[in-house]
């Protein structure tokens, strides 16, 4: 098999993936094979080291975000037919898309609402002495200060607990903020490849085994992909 | 900035202590009489 045949077969195997993904994969493997050949391997050896085309295509398909993959699969190949189908099924997909967007927004707002509520409760506790002072002033005016002193004392205790609770609220806010970030990343990962590490330390879409040539996760961000090539590529890194 | 938690904790302890003394003191002066001290 020649390089051109390999690339043609890969293009066919990638089938209905988004055009940009296919172009990216082809460019990547074109360069990978060229690099291997420049390193002294024959064309057949360079191709043999890459593995079966179907496996490569399956790996690339698995790393393509679900939404672009679904859109690409639904593509009929005819622009007119695509528009007609979109229009015909719009009573179904438009409400579904809107509902999903509203649900995502609701989750985001709910998390921030919990953060706001926690701080509001904490602020009320911490500022309780103002209410205690008002109670004290009103009872002093009435000539019977003991209930006012009692209430003011309780308000001071409440303020103290409010200040202590602010540490817990701060910690909870940090956790919830991380949750919003993870949620936003998850939403983004449905549409695009998200680079970088997740909170659990797992690197998504990263090359899994050095012996298997996969599409690198950051292929779309960096013009040169040689650094992630299993062999031969490090020369140019 | 690193001293802030310590200051907050000391303030909180002072508030809780003062508040406890004030409220318990008020109750004690009232003779733990619920009629004189409704709360």
The mean pLDDT value for A138-156 works out to 89
* Residue that wins the pLDDT comparison between A180 and A49: A180
Instruction: Convert the pLDDT of each residue in B2-37 to its tens digit.
Output: 788 899 999 999 999 999 999 999 988 887 665 544
The mean-pLDDT minimum among A18-27, A81-90, A222-231 falls in A222-231
pLDDT in the model for residue A183? 92
pLDDT in the model for residue A17? 82
B11 lies within 8 A of chain A by CB: yes
User: What single string gives the DSSP state of each residue in chain A?
Assistant: --HHHHHHHHHHHHTTS-HHHHHHHHHHHHHHHHHHHHTT--HHHHHHTT--HHHHHHHHHHHS-HHHHHHHHH--S-HHHHHHHHHHTHHHHHHHHHHHHHHHHHHHHHHHHHHHHHHHHHHHHHTHHHHHHHHHHHHHHTT--HHHHHHHHHHHHHHHHHHHHHHHHHHHHHHHHHHHHHHHHHHHHHHSPPPS--TTS--TT----TTS----GGGGT-S--GGG-SSSSGGG-
A157 lies within 8 A of chain B by CB: yes
Instruction: Convert the pLDDT of each residue in A102-136 to its tens digit.
Output: 999 999 999 999 999 999 999 999 999 999 999 99
Given an 8 Å threshold on Cβ–Cβ distance, is A163 in contact with B15?
yes
B interface test, pick of A160, A161, A165, A169 with most B CB neighbours within 10 Å:
A160
The mean-pLDDT minimum among A9-18, A89-98, A114-123 falls in A9-18
* Residue that wins the pLDDT comparison between A60 and A120: A120
Instruction: Convert the pLDDT of each residue in A66-75 to its tens digit.
Output: 888 888 778 7
User: Distance, in angstroms, between B6 CA and closest chain A CA?
Assistant: 11
The mean pLDDT value for A10-36 works out to 86
pLDDT in the model for residue A90? 93
Interior angle at CA A97, CA A93 and CA A102, nearest 5:
150
Distances from the Cα of A204 to the Cα of A55, A70, A131, angstroms: 19, 20, 52
The mean pLDDT value for A217-235 works out to 40
Given an 8 Å threshold on Cβ–Cβ distance, is A156 in contact with B38?
no
């Amino acid at each position: 098999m020649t390089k051109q045949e390999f690339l043609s077969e890969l293009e066919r195997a990638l089938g209905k993936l988004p055009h940009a993904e296919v172009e990216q994969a082809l460019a990547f493997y074109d360069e990978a094979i060229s690099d291997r050949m420049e390193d002294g391997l024959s064309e057949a050896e360079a191709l043999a080291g890459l593995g079966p085309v179907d496996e490569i295509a399956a790996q690339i398909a698995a790393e393509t975000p679900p939404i672009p993959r679904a859109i690409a699969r639904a593509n009929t190949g005819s622009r007119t037919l695509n528009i007609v189908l979109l229009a015909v099924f719009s009573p179904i997909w438009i409400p579904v898309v809107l509902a999903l967007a509203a649900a995502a927004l609701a989750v985001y707002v709910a998390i921030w609402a919990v953060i706001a509520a926690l701080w509001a409760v904490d602020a009320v506790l911490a500022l309780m002495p103002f209410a205690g002072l008002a109670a004290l002033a009103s009872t002093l005016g009435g000539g019977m200060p003991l209930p006012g002193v009692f209430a003011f004392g309780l308000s001071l205790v409440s303020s103290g607990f409010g200040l202590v609770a602010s540490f817990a609220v701060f910690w909870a806010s940090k956790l919830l903020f991380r949750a919003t970030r993870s949620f936003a990343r998850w939403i983004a990962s449905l549409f695009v490849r998200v680079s970088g590490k997740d909170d659990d330390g797992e690197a998504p879409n990263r090359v899994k085994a050095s012996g298997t040539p996969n599409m690198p996760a950051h292929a779309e961000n960096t013009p040169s992909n040689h650094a992630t090539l299993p062999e031969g590529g490090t020369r140019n890194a | 900035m690193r001293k802030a938690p310590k200051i907050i904790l000391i303030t909180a302890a002072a508030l809780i202590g003062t508040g406890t003394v004030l409220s318990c003191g008020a109750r004690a002066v009232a003779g733990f009489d619920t009629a004189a001290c409704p709360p």
